Chains A and B, each alone.
Chain A
Amino acid sequence: AQSVTQPDARVTVSEGASLQLRCKYSYSATPYLFWYVQYPRQGLQMLLKYYSGDPVVQGVNGFEAEFSKSDSSFHLRKASVHWSDSAVYFCAVSASAGNKLTFGIGTRVLVRP
């Protein structure tokens, strides 16, 4: 069975600083990997996704993530955060296209002005 670990429950950063959110997955084959964001009182929206190809994938709003097979990781990064990036970020894994997603517990990000 697949699983996802997000080791940081909360992260606080200053506006303009860089951000990295960690995600490690457990799955025997190459998984489909996702980052989703949840803004206050809203549903989840996909930021980016990866299955194959260039291990660095670009997403919306300046986010990018890097896949590492050797490390079983899919960390999310942003070079310069804005106050509007305050949200909960979820890493998720799926065994195949159309299959169910397994989510991590999420990382709550607070951007200080």
Chain B
Amino acid sequence: EAAVTQSPRNKVAVTGGKVTLSCNQTNNHNNMYWYRQDTGHGLRLIHYSYGAGSTEKGDIPDGYKASRPSQENFSLILELATPSQTSVYFCASGDAGGNYAEQFFGPGTRLTVL
């Protein structure tokens, strides 16, 4: 069974503070992704990674950094959090090849920036 976990599940941060969202996958997938979900926008891709040590910008990378220190872990970093970054964040993992780019999602992190 594919497994993607996220921590924390809920986070309240202050404007200007640093926030780190963590994601771990036990699928041994090469690719990992960070999305945010907002009403009226669906899911939008922030950053993604093709493997340990690599990060790529997605469609809305501004204000976010990503880190992929290992195959299993992928972090999303908000150096200076702003209220506009209040959202639900989802991590996903997937692999190229036979599974048509299917992605497996974590349960989400609800972030509130005050």
List residues of chain A with CB under 8 Å of any chain B CB. 6, 32, 34, 36, 41-46, 49, 51, 90, 94, 96-106
Contact = CB atoms under 8 A, between A and B. Distances in A.
B101 A96 contact: yes
Contact of B41 (A43, A46, A100, A105): A105
B45 A101 contact: yes
B101 A97 contact: yes
11 contacts: A32-B101, A34-B102, A45-B105, A94-B100, A98-B30, A99-B96, A100-B58, A101-B43, A103-B42, A104-B42, A105-B42
A98 B96 contact: yes
Interface in B89-107: 90, 92, 94-103, 105-107
Contact of B42 (A34, A49, A90, A96): A90
Interface in B21-36: 30-31, 33, 35
Given A43-B106, A45-B105, A97 B96 contact: yes
B101 A94 contact: yes
Contacts of A98: 30-31, 94-97, 101
